[in-house]
Chains A and B, each alone.
Chain A
Amino acid sequence: MAPDASCLFLVMLLSASCEVTTSADQMCIEKEANTIYNCGNLGLGELPNTLPNTTEMLEFSFNFLPTIQATTFGRLINLIFLDLTRCQINWIHENAMQNHPQLSTLVLTGNPLIFVAETALNGPNALKHLFLIQTGISSLEFIPADNLKNLESLYLGGNYISSIKFPKDFPTGNLKVLDFQNNAIHYLSRGDTDSLRPAANLSLNFSGNDIKGIQPGTFESMVLQSLNFGGTSNLSIIFNGLHNATIHSLWLGSYEDTEDQDLSVSMFEGLCEMSVESMNLQNHYFSSLSLATFHCFTHLQELDLTGTYLKELPPGIPGMNSLKKLVLNVNKFEQLCQINAASFPSLTHLYVKGNRKRLQLGDGCLEKLENLQKLDLSHSDIEALDCCNIQLKTLPHLKSLNLSYNQGLDLQNEAFRACPQLELLDLTFTRLNIMAAQSPFQNLHLLQALNLSHCSLDTSNQHLLAGLPNLRHLNLQGNSFQDGNIPKTNPLQMVGSLESLVLSSCDLSSIDQEAFHGLGNVTHIDLSHNSLTSSSISALSQLKGTYLNLATNNIHIILPHLLPILSQQKIINLSNNPLDCTCSNIHFLTWYKENMQKFVNFEEISCASPPSLQGVRLSDVTLSCGLTAMGIFFLTVFLLFLAVLLIYIVKFFFRWKYQHI
């Protein structure tokens, strides 16, 4: 059945390629004029004639090119990037790339390569990135090494490679990334890595290879940027095999679909004999977590224990003074104090995101973290009464706090007094209960960005945003205002330093003319997804040179006196408004054509009325509205009057003439 299917497939491909050579030329998508083109998924059997010789980046994946030779892309002598993913390539002949001196990236992923000629990759002056993923390679000798001295990354994932030993003359000196994901590598020996020693700061990926043994000394005194053994079942093999290596980032995580042994204390012994800055152990299970587990962790600067089923970290882990970043996402803590943060006094970054239980913030659980700069407690089902001074007691250097996607917080005056250095506060999708006239963000003198989108705020509270002298970015998306109106006095008047303001999806139908007084610094204002009409544009008269987003509102007609306000803005998005394209809106329509360079997304700026022009782009509409209805009326009356007068004159003339006969 499989051969049948593939024959049918081939027939389809061939028939497609016959047809398309004539018509598909137009179907390549121009991403950037004369230089970047996407001809993917077109079933092409050759290079379209219309593609200019100046093309530099060509996406040609999912086409049909069984053979590649010098003439295939020959005329594109400026090619820098060539993607030939899944083009059914079997053969790459001699000097196939000889006409492409600039070529730096060649993607051959998913091609059933039978043979690549010795000189196939000759030509490019500096070929830097070569993708040979799932090309059926079983031996590294398959890769023609003639012109690879500049190679920086080599992707060999999804092949049948069982040994990473490169042929003797293979140039590895400039390699930065060497990716062996999902191959059949089970053993690494000392001789295997000899050829990699010239490469400095190499990143090596062995994820998805079931490593069963590493010969002692294989990585002896090697310095590696990153090393990935993801999905490996027995970590003690890895730790013992990396004896005396220096590794910046070591990724040893497991996956939901891989079976692995529980982590025991003895497994980590090898870690004492090597130097690692950053280690990831995601998705493993610690059979017994004790102080001894961390015996060899003391030199780590970053530790990622995402999804490791932790209920607590043991108190008083000694010697963890180097740790700067700790990731404890997707675990099972009930209270923040269970991480026993005092063991990590130098911590600058702490992540407890997506906790699988409702996380209680407790009382001063992080107070020993004097150097903490970034804290992420998002998606952890947190609910807190009288937040957050007790909970975040003394975090004098905290700059970034993320409490988004939690249950709810009760905030009172100066709710973040405990972290006076905050520059970024994210409370998105967390319900905030703020008593009337309270100012929870008071005294956050350094706060620059505040995300309050979908927080169910009481926007009638004038003092909501008091005490934020440096706030530059404010997001209020998805909050509602009383009667859908932003009144003259509103919380925004407290934040005169704002540069960007988001008020999208706030159910607004009107904005008072003076609502934005005092927001003279705003350069970006988003009012999209509301029900605003053009009368709200008056509220923007104070703003100049802004990026103004009015997309998806209820704007029909824009009267002439509002046009100067639009003229003084820099970029405007008016897409998806029910714009009127009759003579009643002629002033705006004329002005629009003269100012089209101001508008973005103009494919979606279209007419809603009259019915005959519905859906037509505004830029395609030409109206001639010389006379108004009133004008036509007066003209008709005038003409009638003239006709009557003429008849009388003629009548008089004849009467006079006959009288004198």
Chain B
Amino acid sequence: WGGDGVWPTHTACRKEGLEVLYQSCDPVQDFGLSIDQCSKHIQPKVRIRFGIILREDIRELYLDIALMSKGASVLNYSFPICEVDLPKFSFCGRKKGEQIYYAGPVNNPGFEIYEGKYQILLELYNEKRATVACANATVICS
């Protein structure tokens, strides 16, 4: 029922020369994301808002990030968000079918974004490697 699975491109933030656009790459559904502080100087512990329906249990949840610039891969990173022996966030352990609204910090370090256009592929998945969320994001810094 997602048609051909092409979801609209949303704006997660646009301010002070920084623009973050994203599009769900999960053929089954879209999700909502906004980033509270939008600036070239990313502060540590940025607050986000995130809304999604879970298609899978998330007792374990992992995030893969692939950063590309000018078609070249710059960074690949994998990060555990929920583990059985360390549920970092209050939503860890929620079940399939639950609707999640998260408004709070993400555990990022502070850093500077250099001018340019970046492509980021973000994928959230559980211990069975089943997709929980997938996003194609574009960051434009001018």
Chain B interface: which of A137-145, A253-261, A428-436? A253-261
Q: Which bracket fits the contact residues of A?
A: 35 or more
B37 interface residue per 8 A CB criterion: no
Q: Is the CB of A109 within 8 A of B90?
A: no
Whether A257 lies near B97 (C-beta < 8 A) is no
Please indicate the chain B residues that have their CB under 8 angstroms from the CB of A543 in the complex: none
Is residue B110 within 8 Å, beta carbon to beta carbon, of the partner chain?
no
A110 to B55, CA, bound (A): 11
| 0/1 interface trace, chain B 62-94, chain A, CB 8 Å (1 if under) | 000000000000000000000001111110111
Residue of B nearest to A259 (CB): B104
B75 to chain A, nearest CB (A): 19
Q: Which of B92-111 contact A (CB under 8 A)?
A: 92-99, 102, 104-105, 107
The answer to the question of B33 belonging to the interface, with a C-beta cut-off of 8 Å to chain A, is no
Shortest Cβ gap from B48 to chain A (Å) = 10
Query: Are the CB atoms of A306 and B86 closer together than 8 Å?
Result: yes
A41 within 8 A of B: yes
With A41-B28, A43-B1, A62-B55 already in contact, the answer to whether A327 and B85 are too (CB < 8 A) is yes
Q: Which residue of B lies closest to A87 (CB)?
A: B97
Contacts of B102 in A (CB 8 A): 257
Residues of chain B lying within 8 A (CB to CB) of residue A41: 28, 55
Are A230 and B55 in contact, with the CB atoms below 8 A? no
**Is the pair A110, B97 in contact by a Cβ cutoff of 8 Å?**
yes
A329 contacts B86, C-beta separation under 8 Å: yes
- Inter-chain CA distance A306–B84, complex, in Å, is 12
| In contact, A12 and B90 (Cβ under 8 angstroms) | no
A110-B88 in contact (CB<8A): no
The residues of B that contact A85 with a CB separation of less than 8 Å are 96-97
A157: interface (CB < 8 Å): yes
Task: Check A134 against B107 for contact (C-beta < 8 Å).
Answer: no
Any B CB within 8 A of the CB of A231 = yes
Query: B53 an interface residue at 8 Å Cβ cutoff?
Result: yes
A61 lies within 8 A of chain B by Cβ: yes
Inter-chain residue pair count (beta carbon < 8 A):
73
In whole angstroms, how far apart are the Cα atoms of A115 and B28 in the complex? 29
0/1 interface trace, chain A 50-79, chain B, CB 8 Å (1 if under): 000000000001100000000000000000
Flag whether A124 is at the interface (Cβ < 8 A). no
A38 to B93, CA, bound (A): 23
Please tell me if A297 contacts chain B, counting CB pairs below 8 Å.
no
Q: From residue 32 to 79 of chain B, which have CB atoms closer than 8 A to chain A?
A: 53, 55
Q: Is the CB of B96 within 8 A of A109?
A: yes
Contact of A16 among B1, B86, B90 (CB under 8 A): B1
Residue with the greatest number of chain B CB neighbours at <10 A, chosen from A134, A258, A283: A134
Question: How near does chain B come to A252, taking the closest CB pair, in angstroms?
Answer: 13
Taking CB as reference atom, which chain B residue is nearest A17?
B1
Which residues from chain A contact B55 at a C-beta distance below 8 Å?
Answer: 41, 62
Could you say which residues of chain B place their CB within 8 Å of the CB of A86?
53, 97
Any B CB within 8 A of the CB of A478: no
Q: Are B53 and A131 in contact (CB under 8 A)?
A: no
Contact: A257 with B85, CB < 8 Å? no
Those of A276-306 within 8 Å (CB) of chain B: 282-283, 304, 306
Q: In the complex the two chains form, is A255's CB within 8 Å of B99's CB? A: no
Among B28, B94, B96: residue with most chain A CB under 10 A: B96
In the docked arrangement, what's the CA distance between A43 and B97, Å? 15
In the complex with contacts A13-B1, A16-B1, A86-B53, A110-B90 CB distance below 8 A: no
B85 near A133: Cβ-Cβ < 8 Å: no
Contact call A155/B1, Cβ cutoff below 8 A: no
Q: Tell me the nearest residue of chain B to A208, going by C-beta.
A: B90
> Are A256's CB and B107's CB within 8 A?
yes
User: Chain B interface (Cβ within 8 Å of chain A)?
Assistant: 1, 28, 53, 55, 85-90, 92-99, 102, 104-105, 107
Asked whether A307 is an interface residue with its Cβ less than 8 Å from the other chain, the reply is yes
Residues in A with CB closer than 8 Å to B96 are 61, 85, 109
The CA of A155 and the CA of B97, in the complex, are separated in Å by: 13
Contacts of A80 in B (CB 8 A): none
Q: Tell me if A557 counts as interface (CB < 8 A to partner B).
A: no
CA distance A62 to B26 in the complex (A): 15
Name the A residues within 8 Å of B94 (CB-CB).
Answer: 157-158
Lowest 6 CB-CB distances: which A-B pairs, in order? Answer: A257-B104, A85-B97, A110-B97, A109-B97, A255-B90, A86-B97
A133 to B88, CA, bound (A): 22
Bound Cα distance from A13 to B96, whole angstroms: 20
Extra pairs beyond A109-B96, A109-B98, A230-B87 (13, CB < 8 Å): A62-B97, A85-B97, A110-B97, A133-B98, A134-B99, A155-B95, A158-B98, A207-B93, A255-B87, A255-B92, A257-B89, A307-B86, A330-B86
Question: Contacts A282-B86, A306-B85 hold; do A257 and B105 have CB atoms under 8 A apart?
Answer: yes
Distance A464 CA – B59 CA, assembled complex (angstroms): 40
Query: Is B98 a contact of A231 with CB atoms below 8 Å?
Result: no
Does the CB pair A256–B1 fall under 8 Å? no
- Contact (Cβ within 8 A) B85 A255: no
- Please tell me if the beta carbons of B97 and A157 are within 8 angstroms of each other in the complex: no
- Among A155, A257, A330, which residue has its beta carbon within 8 angstroms of that of B90? A257
From B28, B88, B95, B105, give the contact of A157 (CB < 8 A): B95
> Nearest CB to that of A42 among chain B residues?
B1
Whole-angstrom distance between the alpha carbons of A304 and B85 in the complex? Answer: 9
Most-contacted residue by chain A among B88, B92, B104, B107 (CB, 10 A):
B88
Q: Which of B90, B92, B99, B104 has the most CB of A within 10 A?
A: B90
In the bound complex, CA of A253 to CA of B92 (Å): 12
Distance of A107 Cα from B96 Cα, bound (Å) = 10
Q: Smallest Cβ distance from B97 to chain A, in angstroms?
A: 4
Residues of A within 8 A of B87 (CB): 230, 253, 255, 282
12 contacts between A and B (CB under 8 A): A12-B1, A85-B96, A110-B99, A133-B98, A134-B99, A157-B95, A158-B94, A181-B93, A255-B92, A256-B89, A256-B107, A329-B86
Q: A43 vs B96: C-alpha distance in the bound complex, in angstroms?
A: 17
Within 8 A of B (CB), among A11-35: 12-13, 16
